[in-house]
Amino acid sequence: MSYGLWQRRFGGDPAALGRVVKLNGQLFTVIGVAPQQFTSTVPLVAPDVWVPIMMQRLILPAGDMLTSRDASWLDLNGRLKEGVSVEQAQAQMSALALQINAAHPEDNRLPDGTPANAKLLGVKLAPAGSFPVEFRNSMIGFLGLLLAVVGLVLLIACANLSSLLLARATARRKEIAVRLALGASRQRILRQLLTESVLLCLVSGVAGVLFALWLTDLLLAFKPSIPLPLDLNFQLDWRVLGWTFALSLLTGVLFGLAPALQAARTDLVEALKDAAGASGYRRSRLRDLFVIGQVAMSLLLLVSAGLFLRALTRAHTSFPGARPEQVLTVTLDPGVLGYDETRTREFYRRLLERVEMLPGVESAGLANGIPIGNSYSMTAFDIKGRDEMSGFNTVTPKYFQTMQIPLLRGRSFTEADRAGAPRVAVIDEALARRFFPNENPVGQYLVSNSNVKASTAQIEIVGVVRGGQSTAPGELPGYLIYVPAGQPLFEQSFQRLILHVRTAHAPSDTFAAIRREVSALDPDMPLLNFMPLTEAIDTALLPQRLVAAVAGGFGLVGLALAGVGIFGLVSFTVAQRTHEIGVRMALGAQQGDVLRLVVGQGLRLALAGVAIGLSGAFVVTRLMASLLYGLSATDPLTFVGVPLLLVGVALVASYIPARRAMKVDPLVALRYE
């Protein structure tokens, strides 16, 4: 057993060794405890127990894969000999795979029966502790997206910093000129200003690390409440700290260089001639460019955040049924206890009868998946002579009633739809629109292309139900075909099923009652993933939720930074143009004229940034299409609403200093004239 399980269940008692425990109804003897620092060879995964592979039939008797040559469910771990490189081992194992394929060509065929390409049979070695190859690309893409969001915020903050440093350098022209007049070299001035910006960034980096330590607990809030064997241990190490230090140093140098260079090039004679100590207003194109870039990046970040938030909202509303908060779910798998098909059917029949008699239960049904996300199975169907991949869900007759999924055409399943009767199916409206746009699909036929129970069997479509967006754009088609539990496509699809119960009572009371009924039928039956349906939907949408939360949070930070940047620039401009504004008002300018002058400057910068940001957003958001659940990457509401929001923030940020400019007293402004 794992060290964690030893501590949780046995309190670290050494007497746990030799104890007999029950796994899926089978007795096992504890012979050891894993080291505390070891969880598994797969990141984030932390099993509680390990059993000999030759004993897997004891806990998974319905799926004894060791008697089959199909070993795709196995991971092979090995330690290289001294002096053997990864490339050498990989080449030798690839050659071995080709030899095995030549000896057993029937094991490597495509679904249509043609031999697989030999190039696909090579072996790819990866270090232990890395993500499996089949998940690595998607994981890298997902984490890369999060890093890109954080990088955008960093760029916005750095642009803001550069803009403020430029403004500060302009205000310090007299000071820098005096230093130069007293003998300081321009290189010395440059080093001083760069040192100031680097120190500022390093202090910010330290503050960011401390803030990150405080926020690590927030990441755990996204962990699913179901008891999954996950090891979410977010700790900083020297590589993270080294990266943070290097990034802080680099940003301090890069974004402090332009203000430092401009300040070091101060015209000594011109700066010292200003007896009043004010240099007057000088427009800085570099400072304007930093603000425009800041607004553009803020808009790109906000558009991305808006798309994710809109997609997440649509995903929650795309559930095909009604009132999911009143539905409770629990997963059962009689197959792990050695139930055959007959015993399994009898167990589920008696369970549904007992659960439906519980107080407050309106109806109950079984299904092997939830019609949202990718929690259901996929298989190939022949529909109107075309091979199509579609999701399928094995359900009992009262499933649609329990989920309150409306029947649009035809009929639902009945108890008569059992083995030996003509095979039937109910399809969702998405599939009906796709393949039967101008005809009634009821009475039409489809053929399962699976090579098991339903091989070459015609399946009559007897009904059409309302559908939801079951997959994200860019993934497999979001069609869903329902088949009756009495006629499953695969024998395994009637073993592990999810019990759905619609109830008006408190979830805790109903959960306890369901547990009692299951225990009365079989006390060894494991109950998995007790949760309301809304929580199951949230779990299925975990990647979208995480990205939406991160993008939304950083989007607000970016919006605030953009507002601060525009406010700072306009405020500095007003302070520099006080004399000019006084002259204008002395010559007859009205307060409205001053307001338009000041606000117009901030608005022009914001509109330029919005135009550039929108161009970039149209390109970048297409790369995120696979995560936008049922939403277009060019969603009009997001692409119109976000620019308007950003322009509104720019107006407010410009209006505040403009109000101060409107109150300038010409006599005070012209005092030194």
Render pLDDT for 411-426 as a digit per residue (tens, 0 to 9).
Answer: 999 988 888 888 899 9
* Positions in the chain whose pLDDT score sits under 70: 57-73, 106-122, 133-134, 217-228, 232-234, 266-284, 315-318, 371-377, 449-457, 468-478, 490-493, 626-627, 629-630, 664, 666, 668-673
Residue 455: the pLDDT is: 45
CA distance linking residue 318 with residue 630, whole number of Å: 8
Q: How far apart are CA 67 and CA 529, in angstroms?
A: 30
pLDDT for the residue numbered 499:
93
Q: Which helix (H) or strand (E) holds 427?
A: strand 424-428
CB atoms within 10 A of CB 540: 19
> What backbone phi and psi angles, to 5 degrees, belong to 45?
-105, 130
N-to-C CA span, the chain: 86
The Cα–Cα gap between 256 and 163 comes to 10
Q: Cβ distance 159 to 298 under 8 Å?
A: no
E-strand stretches of 533-649: none
Alpha-carbon distance of 26 to 634, in angstroms, equals: 55
115, β-bridge pairs: 109
One-letter amino acid at 247 equals: L
- Dihedral of the alpha carbons of 134, 140, 142, 144, in degrees to the nearest 10: -170
For the chain, how many helices (H) and strands (E)?
Answer: 19, 13
Coil, strand or helix: which one is 242?
Answer: helix
DSSP strand pairing (528-532 vs 327-332)? antiparallel
User: Dihedrals φ, ψ of 622, to 5°?
Assistant: -65, -25
Please report the pLDDT score of residue 311 as a whole number.
76
How buried is residue 80: exposed, middle or buried, by Cβ count under 10 Å (0-12/13-18/19+)? exposed
Look at residues 452, 337, 312, 347 and name the one whose alpha carbon lies nearest to residue 392.
452
